[in-house]
A and B are shown apart, each in its own frame.
Chain A
């Protein structure tokens, strides 16, 4: 029998049959894979590398072409030769001393190690605020949402406030939070927690509303009481949807942290950027900006890996 062989070959093909003949425009549409084309990871990596190289090169180029200065000695577009040398040592200004490296204000020298310590310590501050804010916001936001969505009445009552919260310009309220909770750790964390909490709240309420009634009915016909139904049916069914909520809240936590550090905080990466801006140190802003982008991407990657298992049982799981 040759049929099974052909069948298997066909199966392989349907995943990606690249026709031998020059593929016409119409032909591309007929390929079954056109239904859900995904970028293969090699191309993605290659593209990423090229994009980074081009952007880095463009930055250097702009710095060469446009030689304006914010103030004497401080260029608008500091090239890499500055950012990777003087900038790092300059950041030692933000090191508060300790670990055998004296702070600059106490008469210490500007060293690479001092600069790196400054980046690490302020990055740590930012990170701690984000983690604390995320955890508190996620727990409280989800709990409130679960209580509200526990009954049809609650869901209906809170539909409009939830819609209102979705578009509420919360970031504009930072000054309020600083008046309420101060500009130190507590103020920033509360602010991040509220921002994250709002996302979790709306996310969970929506997810619960989207649970297919058939599962709930099925549980009920099997004799499950309301609370058991909630715990064994509703909660597991909203988990896959929570993945995007978690990713969204992470992005929001970063934005809220940076925002609160821009306005009033006394430490953290955002604080360095604001401080550097007052003195026209674009190079310091730039280096810290890159640190933020790298750290944010890393946390995003980690969270997206960890939360992947939330959706593994879904028939249409997307990586």
Chain B
């Protein structure tokens, strides 16, 4: 970008004018392609080294399988129980296998973050401009972000019983403060000149919010959503561990009760892979939304 923007002098401009060629835009590339291109073959090597190390220590018997199962063991377990599993069914964790529980947990996480966006973005955006709102939203939401919200989970279990509701509410409460802070900061960082400029051009209230405040803050908000989402998987897992009808956390707790270490590893790794894939997807969305700007995250 710096290269294109190069000289502030119009020598560059007039040059472009004479040649008549539009400057090559880095933003015009396919965002998915950009993520792929940005990734580094060496990074893959790092992943392989870790897998190799895992293989070696278990193969050589340096770590007992009770503590760390071999990778192929974990893989075989995951394969055997992914779609259909007696082990899962006998524990009343659904009619399928790991996949069904994976879908349960993933749905909770995505749904909760979506709800959190709906709640936090309007409050965050408005709080940057409306002091009366901010004097209440700041203390409550910043405190919520600083305390271990997990402490509420046992209450939800008592009040709502073992259902998805408690987990959803917990996840929303974890995600809201993060997205709120990012939305608020995005408006604060947005130069007021854009809103002024829009007003001078004759916009109405709806357009001002849609075309200036929402579009101008979208990349930063998405950055916040990405962070909220990254943390949500952990919270979802522990919430399910404490009590849920289904889900990856429940799987882990039943496997733990039977000291099925291989099962625990398979479950957590599958969940981690889905979490990472979600993160990569969101990164691509972020890069697309930010194709005009220079917010780097």
Contact = CB atoms under 8 A, between A and B. Distances in A.
Interface of A: 26, 28-30, 34-37, 39, 43-44, 46-48, 50-51, 70, 76, 153, 156-161, 163-164, 166-176, 178-180, 247, 251, 254-255, 257-259, 262-263, 270, 273-274, 277, 280, 282, 285-286, 289, 292-293, 296-297, 300
A172 B238 contact: yes
A46 B134 CA distance: 11
B249 A255 contact: no
Task: Determine chain B's interface SS by DSSP, over half rule.
Answer: helix
B230 interface: yes
B158 A76 contact: yes
B49 A157 contact: yes
A282 B158 contact: yes
Nearest to B138: A39
Interface stretch (B87-95, B144-152, B284-292): B144-152
Interface in B130-175: 131, 134-136, 138-140, 143, 145-155, 157-159
A169 B236 contact: yes
A160 B234 contact: no
Contacts of A170: 234
Contacts of A297: 143, 146-147
A172 B278 contact: no
User: Majority SS of interface residues in chain A?
Assistant: helix
Contacts of A157: 42-43, 45-46, 49
Contacts of A50: 136
Given A44-B139, A50-B136, A285-B154, A293 B147 contact: yes
B147 A262 contact: no
B42 A156 contact: yes
Interface residues of B, number: 70
A255 B140 contact: no
Interface stretch (B22-30, B78-86, B116-124, B256-264): B256-264
Interface of B: 39-40, 42-47, 49-50, 66-67, 128-129, 131, 134-136, 138-140, 143, 145-155, 157-159, 188, 191-192, 195-196, 199, 229-230, 233-238, 240-242, 248-249, 252-253, 255-256, 259, 261, 264, 267-268, 271-272, 275-276, 278-279
Nearest to A26: B199
Contacts of B236: 169
B275 A168 contact: yes
Contacts of B196: 26, 29-30
Contacts of A164: 47, 272, 276
Count chain B CB atoms within 10 A of each CB in A30, A37, A270, A286 and give the residue with the most: A37
Residue picked from B67, B148, B236, B256, most chain A C-beta under 10 Å: B148
Contacts of B151: 258, 270, 273, 289, 292-293
Contacts of B261: 176, 179
Contacts of B248: 169, 172
Contacts of A173: 252, 264, 268
B235 A156 contact: no
Contacts of B49: 157
Contact of A174 (B145, B233, B241): B241
Given A43-B135, A167-B278, A179-B256, A172 B271 contact: yes
Contacts of B44: 160
Contacts of A179: 66-67, 256, 259, 261
A168 B248 CA distance: 13
A259 to B, nearest CB: 5
22 contacts: A26-B196, A35-B191, A47-B134, A47-B135, A47-B136, A47-B140, A51-B136, A156-B42, A158-B46, A168-B233, A169-B248, A172-B240, A173-B264, A174-B238, A179-B256, A255-B235, A273-B151, A282-B158, A289-B152, A292-B151, A293-B147, A296-B148
A39 B241 CA distance: 40
Contact of B252 (A163, A175, A280): A175
A167 B272 contact: yes
Contact of B238 (A48, A51, A171): A171
A169 B272 contact: yes
B40 A159 contact: yes
B264 to A, nearest CB: 6
| Closest 5 A/B residue pairs (Cβ) | A172-B237, A175-B256, A47-B135, A160-B43, A48-B139
A99 B196 CA distance: 68
Nearest to B253: A175
Given A37-B128, A168-B275, A153 B147 contact: no
A167 B139 contact: no
Nearest to A173: B268
Contact of B139 (A47, A172, A175): A47
A44 B272 CA distance: 39
B187 to A, nearest CB: 9
Nearest to B45: A157
B207 to A, nearest CB: 14
